[in-house]
Homo-oligomer: A and B are copies of this chain.
């Protein structure tokens, strides 16, 4: 055990302050005072408490550190520079287009597992990391630094609750209670007792620091990590701008850099007691074997029969078990809908790789993201429409370039009697708008199974949209479904119009084709199983054979879904897209009644084809 050099830690904290001030002044923007309040905590974590390989931030058993209060990015950057990962001169490139030291951290930086900056998201990701450590029998701890303002976010309490339920004593939340928000003081100011009560009520052990700038106090409470069976919350009473006389605890300094003269004055105050971390001892991670996380070369075969009636949501459950057998990286989680999404099949087979997240969809997604950062392939499921609850998390997962698989069931009006609150009619718009996302929408069991393989094999954010009604198997067991593809399901010479559907509406289109054929009108039918990137080559080729006329039909509102995707991709090439979509607020009723009422059933397609043919 190395004796802690508290004077060195104090000096490093001031060095981090100096870096944060100089960097933001050089950038002309940023949040120096939010860095100063947390500098002592960060110094104690990075240069006394945490066990990590500073040259290899991705080491599988490094302690994890999530800066949930992402606007204190310069402090994080300064800590890694002082730890020796890169030159401190780089810090002065903060926020420049030619630097990865962005205004808020992103995984362009090796030491940022996830992007932060949209507040309240770090703790849920930390829960996922802590669960992954437990699954992999690794002894790294996960430290999450939060601001006091951000813990007004409900997502924090979703995460806190689950951490308490699962007794994650390898998870540590540190609240930098600096009293001041962006536009005014926080609701509770320096009443750290409020935060104590809340975390305790959510199943945490809590330590409060009367002086969050006292590195001896900080180191002492950090010594208690892992000592009992609860997650640990440390509430540190701090001052915004701490360490600089004219900044400390002052209003109107949020998100403002110092001008050069002010910066010079601040640095002059800090410099005498600042110390380089060059000589600080950093403990190495313990030598536990790395988890395998092997990528399988193949998955077991499937054996469906054409015409079998199976809901795609049910095929999802079967597929997850099948590929989960072969792929130990796969973990799953759900928000108390597992008997409806069919994630339950995986839960029953592999309970140790399943996390019940209860009814808390933001945290469901955050936990999945956390697992994804640890080499796992996380499949999170709930009703598709409830992923809207987690849109901000999913959006930020895009910035994190996360490995995240979302599976949403119960799409569209075909869910029937439960009514509009349970119907996903905007999820395609949402998921298409996520940076780097891939959006799948299968129509039968075979395509669902095969798309799940694609999701497991390929890194990135994938969304699979499943339906409630049973639909017939239309593909052979060897059919392949590449990213960016589409399938021609019906096509004959002389077809008048190309109809593009997916899910339930694909089957309506097939029915329409049969009905129209009887009347001597041929239509091409395309399965747009990949909504993003759209299988536009297939659609274009078909459309060009039908006079450039396309009808899209979708269980989705008219905005941002399949129709907009096809029009947005192909209108520039002169392809004319007529959209059939849900154009008014739906209601309860039988599935077939609703498909008819909202104009997306076979009869509606027939009518539209006849109007155009």
Chain A residues at the B interface, C-beta cutoff of 8 Å: 27-30, 70, 95-97, 99, 102-104, 106, 108, 115-120, 149-150, 152-158, 161, 165, 181-184, 186-187, 194, 197-198, 200-202, 334, 336-340, 344, 356, 358-363, 385-386, 388-389, 391-392, 395-396, 398-399, 401, 416-422, 425-426, 429-430, 432-436, 532, 557-561, 563-565, 567-568, 570-579, 584-585, 587-590, 593-594, 597
A421 x B117 contact (CB < 8 A): yes
Write the chain B residue with the least CB distance to A116.
Answer: B421
**Closest 3 A/B residue pairs (Cβ):** A154-B154, A117-B421, A97-B589
Stoichiometry, copies per complex: 2
A389 x B118 contact (CB < 8 A): yes
Contact pick for A154, options B29, B158, B201, CB 8 Å: B158
Write the chain B residue with the least CB distance to A181.
Answer: B336
A97 x B432 contact (CB < 8 A): no
The CA-CA distance from A179 to B165 in the complex, in Å, is 15
Contact pick for A422, options B117, B362, B388, B590, CB 8 Å: B117
A153 x B417 contact (CB < 8 A): no
CB-CB under 8 A for A336 and B149, given A386-B118, A388-B391 = yes
Contact pick for A182, options B70, B152, B337, CB 8 Å: B337
Residues of the B chain whose Cβ atoms lie less than 8 Å from the Cβ of A198: 198, 201-202
CB-CB under 8 A for A577 and B585, given A396-B421, A559-B532 = no
A560 x B340 contact (CB < 8 A): no
The CA-CA distance from A145 to B387 in the complex, in Å, is 24
Contact pick for A559, options B363, B392, B416, B560, CB 8 Å: B560
Write the chain B residue with the least CB distance to A108.
Answer: B587
Residues of the B chain whose Cβ atoms lie less than 8 Å from the Cβ of A584: 435
Residues of the B chain whose Cβ atoms lie less than 8 Å from the Cβ of A95: 417, 419, 588-589
B430 x A391 contact (CB < 8 A): yes
Residues of the B chain whose Cβ atoms lie less than 8 Å from the Cβ of A434: 426
Contact pick for A571, options B344, B401, B577, CB 8 Å: B577
Besides the known contacts A198-B202, A398-B585, 20 further A-B residue pairs in the complex with CB atoms under 8 A apart: A29-B417, A97-B590, A102-B588, A104-B418, A117-B421, A152-B336, A152-B360, A154-B363, A183-B336, A183-B337, A183-B356, A184-B336, A200-B201, A391-B426, A426-B430, A429-B433, A435-B584, A560-B564, A567-B572, A572-B578
Nearest Cβ in chain B — how far from A250, in angstroms?
15
A420 x B399 contact (CB < 8 A): yes
B435 x A585 contact (CB < 8 A): yes
A572 x B577 contact (CB < 8 A): yes
B588 x A358 contact (CB < 8 A): no
Nearest Cβ in chain B — how far from A441, in angstroms?
14
B29 x A585 contact (CB < 8 A): no
Nearest Cβ in chain B — how far from A69, in angstroms?
11
A585 x B401 contact (CB < 8 A): yes
The CA-CA distance from A103 to B588 in the complex, in Å, is 6
CB-CB under 8 A for A559 and B433, given A360-B152, A419-B106, A421-B117 = yes
CB-CB under 8 A for A426 and B433, given A568-B558, A588-B97, A594-B97 = yes
Cβ contacts A to B, 6 pairs, < 8 Å: A95-B588, A150-B359, A198-B201, A200-B201, A361-B392, A396-B421
Most buried by B among A184, A201, A344, A361: A201
The CA-CA distance from A70 to B119 in the complex, in Å, is 29
Residues of the B chain whose Cβ atoms lie less than 8 Å from the Cβ of A149: 336, 358-359
Contact pick for A336, options B70, B182, B361, CB 8 Å: B182
Most buried by B among A119, A183, A557: A183
Residues of the B chain whose Cβ atoms lie less than 8 Å from the Cβ of A359: 119-120, 149-150, 152-153, 181
The CA-CA distance from A187 to B355 in the complex, in Å, is 12
Nearest Cβ in chain B — how far from A23, in angstroms?
12
A571 x B567 contact (CB < 8 A): yes
Residues of the B chain whose Cβ atoms lie less than 8 Å from the Cβ of A363: 154
A421 x B70 contact (CB < 8 A): yes
The CA-CA distance from A30 to B186 in the complex, in Å, is 43
B97 x A597 contact (CB < 8 A): yes
The CA-CA distance from A182 to B334 in the complex, in Å, is 12
Nearest Cβ in chain B — how far from A554, in angstroms?
12
The CA-CA distance from A430 to B561 in the complex, in Å, is 11
Nearest Cβ in chain B — how far from A506, in angstroms?
20
The CA-CA distance from A61 to B117 in the complex, in Å, is 42
The CA-CA distance from A70 to B421 in the complex, in Å, is 9
